[in-house]
Amino acid sequence: MHISYLPWGRGAHPNLWSWIEGAPKGVTIHEIDAGIDTGPIFVQRLVEFGQSETLATSYQRLREAVEELFAEFWPAIRSGSMFPRPQPSGGSYHRASEGAAILDRLPLRYETPVANLRKFNA
Query: What percentage of the chain carries pLDDT values higher than 70?
Result: 98
Secondary structure of 63-79 in HEC code, one letter for each residue: HHHHHHHHHHHHHHHHH
Taking 70 as the threshold, does the pLDDT of residue 28 lie above it?
A: yes
Q: What is the mean pLDDT of residues 46-66?
A: 95
Task: Domain 10-120: give its CATH code.
Answer: 3.40.50.170
pLDDT for 48:
96
Q: Please pick, among 2, 13, 30, 94, the residue that the annotation labels catalytic.
A: 2
Tell me if residue 2 is catalytic. Answer: yes
Instruction: State the Cα–Cα distance between residues 30 and 87, nearest whole angstrom.
Output: 9
Instruction: Provide the 10 A C-beta neighbour count for residue 94.
Output: 19
Taking 90 as the threshold, does the pLDDT of residue 117 lie above it?
A: no
